[in-house]
Amino acid sequence: MTFSFKTLHTHGRARTGTLTTPHGTVYTPAMTIVATRGTVKAVTARDLLELGVQLVIANTYHLMLRPGAETVETLGGLHEMMAWPRTTFTDSGGFQVFSLGSSIRDGVGKVGSIFPDEDEESSRPAAPQGASLVKIDEDGVAFRSHIDGSPQRLGPESSLRIQAQLGADIVVAFDECTSPLDSYDYTKEAMERTHRWAVRSLDAFAKYGSGAQRIYGIVQGGAYEDLRVASAVTIGALPFWGCCIGGSLGKSKADMFDILDWTLPRLPPEKPRHLLGIGEIEDIFQSVARGIDTFDCIIPTRWARNGWLMLTPPAARAEYPDTPQPRCHLNILNAKHDTDRAPIDPHCTCFTCRNHSRGYLRHLFKTRELLAYTLATLHNVHYYVQLMAAIRAAIARGELAALYHAYTGRTLTVA
């Protein structure tokens, strides 16, 4: 068997492990770098390998629209097309259908995963505003493309068929993604539909999936404790290879941590657990402490393209000495970096910090030079890769709280 998931160390509910696929072994906890349209924006596959990136996540919704699942399949599937020899995920497209292929939920469906915005058209729906563009029935979802307004459908069968064509190592069941503003009754109804779709996703995966893929289920249930518990029990009992925590994670970080506390103890410990769309430093630590193995988030790459460049804590303290809580990034567009010959972070060993000054990066950002986005992405992805390695080491040594305190100045309970 070419797939395996093994726990190496535990520390409270936190754990390290190995997630092995036909494309290599991922050391967990790990950050999945976002490659929405089959590319991590602004960097080459070689850059990613050299940075130590272990896995990337592409998106069913985006790739079905452009270039189309058949085209990706003809081009050899995601790995060959991207020249990416390591592990690949695809998300099912459920979240994007509800956030991008829609105008009825604008502004309320952004919790849980923020990577739909990775597509530059995301805030400009092609269809008239106010029209209800997403129609949900038992079969699936009808929606309009956010690119050209063309009518589209996606459901468990089509999502899994497309994911088989894309050919990622790990695929995900098709789900309905609710909003934090949805009522208890609607969230329950949607969750139950998601559970029925989970069974159909497993059937479709058995039909379409190559033997070289594995499927994760998605736990839904919004911010309602009994629903999250019910969903964790249901999804955990189905023969998925791993479990995602998806959907609305509430209205605050406290809500999100509660949801993880309700959910994770109900999931089978032998299965890997992926938290969709989360990536702030504090959230990573808090989620890892509760037993999450993998994440995906646009923060490393999106922040880079905004000019928000990550700082390790000693660098952050030197940079912002008067801030009681050290910042985790600087804004390179700040005028004070104009003539600064220092690197982003004197503690960083990435290509950008070894070679270029803040002043040069600011010039590249001010003039919108393409190299700005490449250099910034190299730095931020390097930061996340190193952060996750430090977290794995801290779990192995039983020192996760100390590492969290070093990064945030705050206290983490590991139990």
Is residue 296 part of the annotated active site? The answer reads yes
Site for a copy of itself in 364-393 (CB under 8 A): 364, 366-371, 373-375
Q: How far apart are CA 229 and CA 240, in angstroms?
A: 17
Residue 67 within binding range of a copy of itself, rule CB under 8 A: yes
Instruction: Indicate the residue among 228 and 337 with the shorter CB distance to a copy of itself.
Output: 337
Instruction: Indicate the residue among 4 and 339 with the shorter CB distance to a copy of itself.
Output: 339
Choose one: 69-77, 161-169, 221-229, 259-267; the region binding a copy of itself (CB under 8 A).
Answer: 69-77
Site for a copy of itself in 114-173 (CB under 8 A): 120
Is residue 91 part of the annotated active site? The answer reads yes
The active-site residue out of 182, 293, 296, 345 is: 296
Strands 14-21 and 24-28: antiparallel
Residue 336 within binding range of a copy of itself, rule CB under 8 A: no
CB of 378 to a copy of itself, least distance (A): 8
CB of 69 to a copy of itself, least distance (A): 12
Residue 411 within binding range of a copy of itself, rule CB under 8 A: no
What is the token pair recorded at 19? Answer: 């997630």
Instruction: Indicate the residue among 11 and 79 with the shorter CB distance to a copy of itself.
Output: 79
**Total residues in contact with a copy of itself, by rule CB under 8 A:** 43
Neighbours of 68 (CB within 10 A): 13
What is the token pair recorded at 234? Answer: 């249901």
Choose one: 20-28, 62-70, 194-202, 323-331; the region binding a copy of itself (CB under 8 A).
Answer: 62-70
Residue 362 within binding range of a copy of itself, rule CB under 8 A: yes
Backbone angles phi, psi at 273, to 5 degrees: -125, 125
CB of 49 to a copy of itself, least distance (A): 11
What is the token pair recorded at 289? Answer: 């402490």
The active-site residue out of 47, 91, 106, 169 is: 91
Instruction: Rule CB under 8 A: choose which of 39, 122, 306, 331 binds a copy of itself.
Output: 39
**Residues tagged active-site:** 91, 296
Please give the residue ranges that form the binding site for a copy of itself (CB under 8 A).
Answer: 37-46, 66-67, 70-71, 74-76, 80-83, 120, 338-339, 341, 351, 355-357, 359-360, 362-364, 366-371, 373-375
